[in-house]
Structure 1
Amino acid sequence: MSEVEQQNVKLATAGFDARFPNTNQTKHCWQNYVDYFKCIDARGEDFAPCKQFYRAYHSLCPNSWIEKWDAQREEGTNPSNFKV
């Protein structure tokens, strides 16, 4: 592969969070999901720190969970309070 064909790709996952030291990251996944929607409610989708929550929950949570929670949030049946 020539240098022209090579592309620099940066892969990253959620960083360490001292609130969730255990190997089971379910709570970490859920908390980042909730924090993201609270953040965009308070600051808007263009606020850069909100994107960290987005990246974290997308790297930690299974897509099926995210789809389920999104549907619940849209229906108003999600058990969390997404308002600040």
Structure 2
Amino acid sequence: MAAPTRRERQVCWGARDRYWRCLDENAEDAARCRALRSSFEDSCPAQWIKYFDIRRDYLKFKEKFEAGEFEPSNQLQIPRLFLNFLQGLKRFFLLIQRCCAASRTA
């Protein structure tokens, strides 16, 4: 598979942004955003969709955590392995951001 062109990347990012905006405006109710999800899936490579889905979950978690709204229950114990995974995921996202920023200027 060839790398998406600049135009294809812009179409993908626009579809993603419209879908995410719909989720934000509809309290994460995916049923209300089905048409935009379909457009998002039609506009982006499958690997990108998977990445963007994980990225959104991470950003929502991070937003709640930084606002002090995330409180694990007493029964929830986050294993050290999972915390290490999250730290690695953060480094991965930062790397992807740098790569995307570099490709946007290309």
TM-score between both structures, scaled by the size of structure 2: 0.42
1:45 to 26, 30, 39: 30
Report the alpha carbon displacement of residue 28 of structure 1 after superposing the two structures with TM.
1.2
Aligned CA-pair RMSD: 2.4
Tell me which residue corresponds to 2:51.
Answer: 68
Q: Taking every aligned residue pair, what percent have the same amino acid on both sides? A: 22
Tell me which residue corresponds to 2:42.
Answer: 59
Matches within 5 A, 1:2-41: 24-41=7-24
Report the alpha carbon displacement of residue 65 of structure 1 after superposing the two structures with TM.
0.7
CA–CA distance in structure 2, aligned partners of residues 24 and 46 of structure 1: 29
TM-score between both structures, scaled by the size of structure 1: 0.51
Report 1 or 2 for greater relative contact order, CA contacts < 8 Å, sequence distance ≥ 6. Answer: 1
**Number of aligned residue pairs:** 55
Report the alpha carbon displacement of residue 29 of structure 1 after superposing the two structures with TM.
1.1
CA–CA distance in structure 1, aligned partners of residues 23 and 56 of structure 2: 14
Please tell me whether the aligned partners of residues 15 and 36 of structure 2 are also in contact (alpha carbons under 8 angstroms). Answer: yes
Please tell me whether the aligned partners of residues 15 and 43 of structure 2 are also in contact (alpha carbons under 8 angstroms). Answer: no
Structure 2 runs not aligned, ≥5 long: 1-5, 60-89, 98-106
Does 54-63 or 36-45 show the bigger shift? Answer: 36-45
